[in-house]
A and B are shown apart, each in its own frame.
Chain A
Amino acid sequence: MMTSKADIIARLQKEILPLQGFKTILKNANDDVGIGKMKNAFPNATFPLGAVHEFLSTSSEDAAATNGFVSGILSSLIKKGGACIWIGSSRTIFPPALKSFGIAPDKIIFIDLKKEKEMLWAMEEALKCEGIAAVIGEIKELSFTDSRRLQLAVEQSQVTGFVLRNNPRSINTTACITRWKITSVPSELSNEMPGVGFPRWNVDLLKVRNGKPGNWQIEWVSGKFKHILPISLVIPVQQKKTG
């Protein structure tokens, strides 16, 4: 009796999703961006491609962490051979470093624009363009109308968009499908070895449409995301020496 009840609920949930305006975007269910159990937070347990994701950060350090997380997702998007467009006010990304996130830096086209308005225009045009793997926009202020325009552009072309907002004036409502916040977490090497370890982040999924927000700690190890147990926030007092 219990199982049948769960089945009914699952079926009903699946029926509700399209009614809520959720479209199954992926024809290919094998499309996996390698985020492990994090994908359970999304409807149908797949990372939504062909949508706009919003990332918040408050400092340059967190912006770098966000870039790292986005690059990690991007690496699996770009693997299929697509190109990627990165729109920003001035390039802060160090192209050679992208290689360690599994991205060929020469496959990325950087567009540096001064005005927010031009950035939004370029981002919308880019998102309309079929065949691009992803578009990343370092857009500080994103109004609800702007975000809706981006979302509409994406629904036609199925391009994935990432809006990276560093230090926005206000955190307003947007039409983006998710809202993330990535922060750095102290790294740890196995066996208490000295030195800086693999990049480690605290991933906060603040909002997700038709899904369950959550919090995870992950590490980028040899080209893959790896879930780690939330570490104790005890700070080792002694500085570790290096060779």
Chain B
Amino acid sequence: MPKRFISIWFRYLRTDWFTRRQPELATIPFVLSAPDHGRMIVTAANTLAQLQGIDIGMAVADARAIIPSLQVLDDKPELSNKLLTGIAAWCIRFTPVVAVDSPDGLLLDVTGCAHLWKGEAAYIAAINKRFENFGYAVSIAMADTIGTAWAIARYGQSAFIIESGKQMSALLPLPPLSLRIEGAIAERLEKLGLRQISNFISMPRPSLRRRFGNELLQQLDKALGYEEETIISLLPIEPYYERLPCLELIVTATGIEIALQRLLHTLCRRLQQEEKGLRGAIFKCYRIDGKIEKIEIGTNRPTSNTKHLFKLFEIKIDSIEPALGIELFTLDALKVEELCIIQEKLWKNHDGLDNINLSELLDRIAGKIGTSNIHRYVPDEHYWPERSFKAALSINEPLQTTWKIDRPRPLQLLSKPEAIEVTAPIPDYPPMNFRYKGKLHKIIKADGPERIEQEWWLQEGQHRDYYAVEDEEGHRYWLFRSGHYDAAKSYQWFIHGFFA
């Protein structure tokens, strides 16, 4: 189910609150003021005052010049936060996950809530009506991402409900400020005539990053839903934590195993009910002498499989020293994620990297030996052989580019090219023979050269001229000469790999 968020914007939060307390203020223009550098500055103005041209940040004396009968009230610091927290607590009736969005808004995670009000339009109308009755002017928008909901609530023109997946088209006509970026960046965009998101959204990302910094791209990704953003709920989610005190002290491995199994059982049952899975957990044993023994595990994908988790812990149980005895066990899920609902039957025979057996196996290996030893490689856009691939960050990281096979590449590559002695005829001809590890290889066949230049923006140095050669025994090697032929003999020959 796609996530749905609501952003509520209070246009006149503080003035509306004053009006609620003193109804007679509703019909007259008034402002709130606070001292700043020895002057009184307008910090908030109600609708009537703003209509007559009073802006926030104006000196009170100037405002009085515009409207002589202007009512000026003292602003209360920290008022908006207090108000928003109160309103957010009240909003729990609409959804359990509400967050304060300082200084003048609220964020609601309404995934799976709207149908209780018979649809999203009715849901928003209901919220709107309640706030109107209270006397708060609000602007409410709903979208798949926090960023888009925020932007539409503040800068949107007509449609305030953005359908699932339509963030892009909704954002296009909005000004760059709607991306929650700093004023300075927005100003720079404005200077270049980029007044709408549609003006720059299709520009190449590297140039946007160079000119406007990473923040712009990050906020854009967040608004479009490419980067996940979470909200900190007012009501904290109950931690995934289980404890098991023991009447008698536990000193045996069997006892620890039973305790662990029981804790896992209760924790996993809760996770299953909430359709969640854990990615990391820590098991702590509180010893009677005050020391805490702990073991930690991590998994490749969210799981709530008791058996698998127990296996991961089992490898490490040996490291627990019970000493005089353990009186309390706790199990804490450090990282919990949504579990994709899996139909076990269908997935059982699923091959490839999505295989559950495979990820469980990798968890076990990682648990025993460490994640740093497990690699998966994806192609990278470089010709330099050592940089033509990179370690993938996760088991299901998609490929950004394709593997290149247009040039011959050796199946085995030495981690570091090794220097060799070579007899070569004239420039650009392959060598006649070479000496590697004390053995002389006579070259019978050769291909090349293939020149690979240094990527000067990454590394300084000589280019390489690669030759694929075969010696009289049929062994195939990948050799290269680093640098040009010259009288000073600054070049050097290397062996870099073996062909199959």
Residues of A within 8 A of B (CB): 60-61, 63-65, 67-69, 71, 80-83, 85, 90-101, 104-113, 118, 121-122, 125-126, 129-133, 183-187, 194-197, 199-201, 220, 235-236, 239-242
Tell me how far the C-beta of A180 lies from the nearest C-beta in chain B, rounded to whole angstroms: 14
Q: Considering the complex of A and B, which 8 residue pairs feature the smallest CB-CB distances, nearest first?
A: A68-B500, A64-B498, A94-B413, A186-B474, A61-B475, A97-B409, A81-B351, A99-B403
Q: Using known A-B contacts A60-B498, A113-B369, determine if residue A96 contacts B361 with beta carbons closer than 8 Å.
A: no
Q: What are 21 A-B pairs with beta-carbon distances under 8 A? A: A61-B475, A65-B500, A67-B412, A67-B500, A71-B411, A83-B351, A83-B353, A85-B361, A90-B415, A91-B375, A97-B411, A106-B399, A109-B362, A110-B377, A111-B365, A111-B375, A129-B357, A131-B349, A186-B472, A197-B445, A199-B476
B160 at interface by CB-CB < 8 Å: no
Min CB distance A243 to B, Å, is 9
Please name all residues of chain A whose beta carbon is closer than 8 Å to the beta carbon of B413 when the two chains form the complex.
92-94, 97
Q: Is the interface of A mostly helix, strand, loop or mixed?
A: mixed
> With A and B bound together, what is the CA distance between A194 and B448 in angstroms?
11
Interface contact B389-A187, CB-CB below 8 Å = no
Contact B410 A97 (CB under 8 A): yes
Let me know if B12 is at the binding interface, CB within 8 A. Answer: no
By the criterion CB–CB under 8 Å, are B444 and A186 in contact? Answer: yes
Q: How far is the CA of A54 from the CA of B468 in the complex (A)?
A: 29
Structural contact, A92 and B414, CB atoms closer than 8 A = yes
- Cα(A69)–Cα(B499), bound, Å: 12
Q: How far is the CA of A118 from the CA of B444 in the complex (A)?
A: 42
Q: Are A94 and B349 in contact (CB under 8 A)?
A: no
**Which positions 376-405 of chain B face chain A at CB distance < 8 Å?**
376-379, 385, 388-389, 392, 395, 399, 403-405
Least CB separation from A202: chain B residue: B474
**Which of A61, A110, A126 has its CB near the most chain B CB atoms (within 10 A)?**
A61
What does the 1/0 interface line of B324-336 toward A look like (CB < 8 Å)? 0000000000000
* A201 and B62 alpha carbons, distance in the complex (Å): 92
**Given the complex of chains A and B, what is the CA–CA distance between A236 and B446 in angstroms?**
13
B430 interface residue (CB < 8 Å to A): yes
Q: Pick the contact of B411: A93, A122, A187 (CB < 8 A).
A: A93
B24 within 8 A of A: no
Smallest beta-carbon distance B138→chain A, Å? 49
**Residues in B442-476 with C-beta less than 8 Å from chain A:** 443-448, 468-470, 472-476
